[in-house]
Structure 1
Amino acid sequence: MDGLVSNAALIAGVAGGTQSSSDSSAVLLAGFAGLAAGAFSMAAGEYASVASQSEAAERAIAIERREIIANPEAERAELSEALQAKGLEPGLADEVSRQVHRDVDKAVAVHSMEEFGVDPDDLASPMLAAVSSFLSFSLGGVVPLLPYLFGAPNVLLALGLTLIALFACGAVVTRLTSRPWWFGGLRQAALGGAAFALTWGIGSLVGTGIG
């Protein structure tokens, strides 16, 4: 949806700035440039974000490992208290804690999950996040360009196709929420339409000012 909205809004702004919506070469150039810039920006940002999160998690896990090795009894007691807080009886919690701490790696994994919700064996991959963001943004960003690639005379078909795609995406997202599908679809389409209208207006004003 980021790719859909941002690239369609960019196209709307360029089309508004040309005053005619018919300068397909300028719109196509802006659209492809926006698609490439947005996709690479999303990929770079996601890579840096996920890498930072993974590195922070690795640091926290390393600290937890040192604490378990340096103070095993205190860490066992801490785990026992956490298990009791979840409803285990004291004796059972102590026994579970004792068995977990037989293996340092298992103890680190359990403490990491209990204390900061991180599985040491399942840290997020920065490269996977970057590639996924690049592909998903590109998939959305190419939608408003399709009508121009097939000879559309103006921006209306591009925006119409984008609104349909936004409605479909918004409807699909409601499968994870309590809202009806039509509500999610209309909301996403309305937000996208507002972005298109605003950038069209800004493009028209700027185009008039520099024309």
Structure 2
Amino acid sequence: MTDDPAPLPDPGQVGHEHPDVNGGWLRPAVFGAMDGLVSNFALMMGVVGGTAESGTQPVVLAGLAGLAAGAFSMAAGEYTSVASQRELALAQVEIERDEIRLNRAAEEAELAAVFVDNGVDEELARAIAKEIHDDPERALKVHAREELGVDTDELASPRLAAVSSFFAFAVGALIPLLSYLVGIESAWPAIVLSLLGLFGCGALVTRVTSRTWWYGGLRQLVLGGAAAGLTYLIGQGVGASLG
């Protein structure tokens, strides 16, 4: 009987998978839609509270303006944020590139130390670091990942972030408007649709968390409903004072 080590598995044949703990596309998409839903729902309820005798036109106008303004604001903010983060990461990667080119021995030792800190034998760690540094581009990727937490092959796209944020927010913000756009003048259908949307978004988020779907749904329904209710009361108070 031998104690030969088991062969390394083919990554494509490993029998289990883990969800993306960072949420992947789902988290920003759902939170963008949720942001649009909560903010526009609350805005429209504030207008409903303050313009009870003025018909639905102010409510629809406020909802459409809130959708457009919020979606463009989200897109611009997300583009600037992601672009700045990307530019910072690339600038730091270029600094690391120069360090690897000008001071290979020190960078090799630094990488070996990282491996040792993670439990690798020092001699083996030095051998691995040397082999990695035989290819400067590979060394750059490993240093960027280990030291900066940056994957140079998967830097976020500012354009994609802006477009996805725009549409996610717009979809959420459209939900409170739907009943008004088909001619229903009562606020109750908009309230019901919005609460259902809040529950659905909260339940969907639990796909990347450890919470149960009903807990996530109820939590978001309560928070979003409270925001809309408080804004309604504020609108009612302001409307009465201006009337």
Name the TM-score class by shorter chain: over 0.9
Cα displacement string for residues 78-113 of structure 1 (whole angstroms, at most 9, x for unaligned residues):
001101111221222111111111121111110000
Residue 51 of structure 2 corresponds to which residue in structure 1?
A: 18
CA distance in 2, matches of 1:67, 1:111: 10
Q: Equivalences for 1:73-112 in 2 at 5 Å?
A: 73-112=105-144
**SS at 1:74 equivalent:** helix
Asked if 1:117 is matched to 2:141, the reply is no
Asked if 1:151 is matched to 2:183, the reply is yes
Residue 9 of structure 2 corresponds to which residue in structure 1?
A: none
Runs of 4+ in 1 over 4 A off after TM superposition: none
TM-score scaled by structure 1?
A: 0.96
**SS at 2:185 equivalent:** coil
Deviation at 1:19, TM superposition (A): 2.4
Cα displacement string for residues 46-100 of structure 1 (whole angstroms, at most 9, x for unaligned residues):
0000001001101110111111111110000000110111122122211111111
Residue 196 of structure 1 corresponds to which residue in structure 2?
A: 228
Q: Equivalences for 1:132-171 in 2 at 5 Å?
A: 132-171=164-203
Residue 184 of structure 1 corresponds to which residue in structure 2?
A: 216
Moved more, 88-97 or 34-43: 88-97
CA distance in 1, matches of 2:72, 2:110: 45
Report the AA paired with residue 74 of structure 1.
A
Cα displacement string for residues 105-161 of structure 1 (whole angstroms, at most 9, x for unaligned residues):
111110000001101222110000000100100000000000001121221111110
Give me the identity figure in percent. 56
Report the AA paired with residue 100 of structure 1.
I
**SS at 1:123 equivalent:** coil
Residue 161 of structure 2 corresponds to which residue in structure 1?
A: 129
CA distance in 1, matches of 2:55, 2:148: 54
Deviation at 1:179, TM superposition (A): 1.8
Deviation at 1:178, TM superposition (A): 2.1
RMSD (CA atoms): 1.0
**SS at 2:210 equivalent:** coil
TM-score scaled by structure 2?
A: 0.84
CA distance in 2, matches of 1:101, 1:169: 47
CA distance in 2, matches of 1:179, 1:98: 45
